[in-house]
């Protein structure tokens, strides 16, 4: 199963009629342990409400009178009288296994989230990301298509967004973490976003030129260690500028792959432009009604 697939097991901590309430400390320990292990928890109480049942796997836990569990349609029911938080967690794990619900993944959910109030659909991020995280939907609108392709702790695409429209909610600093975007943030990002200026022209052309220069230098100097040092230096600078973790830089695709991807992105962009041009050309002139006459 893919790390972004599957339903969580919902655990309902029942303390209503026919059961004894848990002491507050036990309730906290049980709920905390369940959350730390990826479960969704609901605590219904008199005078309040929780989300409705939605057909997802559900486990109802309680300290039921006499230890007898009432039948509840669509749910497993367990008596947890006398159980510690470990015991509660064990019961939940057992039902999760039985229900085929999703297990806790060792994946930190790290992926870009688009703020469509700010996004202008400029596609800089799509062109920039080398891991095909972004795509476009049927209306040519930018979307995040492959969340799990995103490299953990790498916020580089958000640094190239001219509108500060890309969030990484788990990032340490604002506005990338979702904090309010201030004027100074836009100015600061604008200094970093102009990839053309940063690399002296078209990004992929620059990479190509750089690679070709390096090859020439390599063939004349025949000094592998010097070339390697130069590459390391460049990557270090890029990493520092865009806050890209070292391990991401180490896993970059090869120059050939980047070139191939650039060609694909260019072709996609050209097709998109052509399509939007066709739509413009074939759109009939507005009717009198549309003009409001």
Partner 1 sequence: MTRILYCNCSYAQAVPKEVKEEVLKRLCASGAAFDAVADLCDMSARKDPAMKKLVESGDVKIVACYPRAVKWLFHAAGAPLPKDGVEVLNMREKTADEILAGLQPK
Q: Which phi and psi angles does 114 have, rounded to 5°?
A: -95, 130
Minimum distance from residue 275 beta carbon to partner 1 (Å): 25
Phi/psi at 40 (5° precision): -100, 135
Nearest to 145, CA basis, from 1, 4, 244, 270: 4
The residue among 34 and 262 lying less far from partner 1, judged by its C-beta, is 34
What's the closest the beta carbon of residue 48 comes to partner 1, in angstroms?
3
**Nearest distance from C-beta of residue 165 to partner 1, angstroms:** 9
Of the pair 28, 215, the CB lying nearest partner 1 is at 28
Burial readout 27-57 (b: 16 or more C-beta within 10 A, e: otherwise): bebbbebbeeeebbbbeeeeeeeeeeeeeeb
Q: Which is nearer to partner 1, 26 or 202 (CB)?
A: 26
Q: How far from the centroid of its chain's Cα atoms is residue 153's Cα?
A: 11
Residues that bind partner 1 in the complex, under the rule CB under 8 A: 4-8, 10, 24, 27-28, 31-32, 35-52, 54, 56, 102, 104-105, 107-111, 113-116, 144, 147-148, 167, 169-172, 174, 177-180
Between 113 and 123, CB nearer to partner 1: 113
Task: Closer to partner 1 by CB, 49 or 220: give it.
Answer: 49
Nearest to 88, CA basis, from 13, 8, 7: 13
Provide CB contacts within 8 A for 194, sequence distance 6+: none
State in angstroms the smallest separation of the CB of 97 from partner 1.
17
């Amino acid at each position: 199963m893919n790390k972004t697939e599957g339903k969580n097991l919902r655990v309902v901590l029942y303390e209503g009629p026919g059961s004894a309430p848990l002491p507050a400390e036990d309730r906290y320990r049980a709920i905390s342990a369940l959350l730390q292990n990826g479960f969704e928890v609901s605590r219904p109480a008199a005078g309040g409400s929780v989300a409705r049942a939605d057909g997802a796997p559900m486990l109802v836990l309680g300290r039921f009178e006499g230890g007898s569990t009432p039948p509840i349609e669509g749910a497993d029911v367990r008596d947890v009288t006398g159980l510690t938080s470990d015991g509660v967690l064990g019961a939940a794990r057992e039902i999760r296994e039985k229900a085929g619900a999703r297990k806790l993944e060792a994946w930190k959910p790290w992926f870009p989230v688009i703020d469509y109030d700010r996004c202008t659909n400029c596609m800089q991020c799509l062109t920039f990301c080398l891991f095909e995280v972004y795509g476009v939907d049927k209306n040519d609108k930018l979307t995040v298509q492959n969340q799990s392709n995103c490299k953990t702790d790498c916020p580089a695409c958000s640094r190239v967004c001219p509108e500060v429209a890309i969030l990484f909610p788990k990032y340490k600093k604002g506005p990338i973490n979702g904090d309010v975007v201030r004027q100074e943030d836009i100015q600061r990002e604008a200094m970093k976003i102009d990839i053309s200026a940063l690399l002296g022209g078209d990004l992929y052309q620059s990479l190509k030129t750089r690679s070709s220069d390096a090859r020439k230098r390599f063939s004349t100097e025949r000094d592998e260690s010097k070339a390697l040092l130069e590459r390391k230096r460049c990557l270090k600078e890029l990493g520092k500028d865009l806050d890209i973790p070292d391990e991401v830089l180490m896993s970059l695709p090869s120059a050939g792959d980047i070139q191939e991807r650039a060609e694909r992105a260019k072709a996609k962009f050209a097709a998109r432009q052509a399509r939007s041009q066709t739509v413009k050309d074939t759109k009939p002139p507005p009717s009198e009604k549309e003009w409001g006459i």
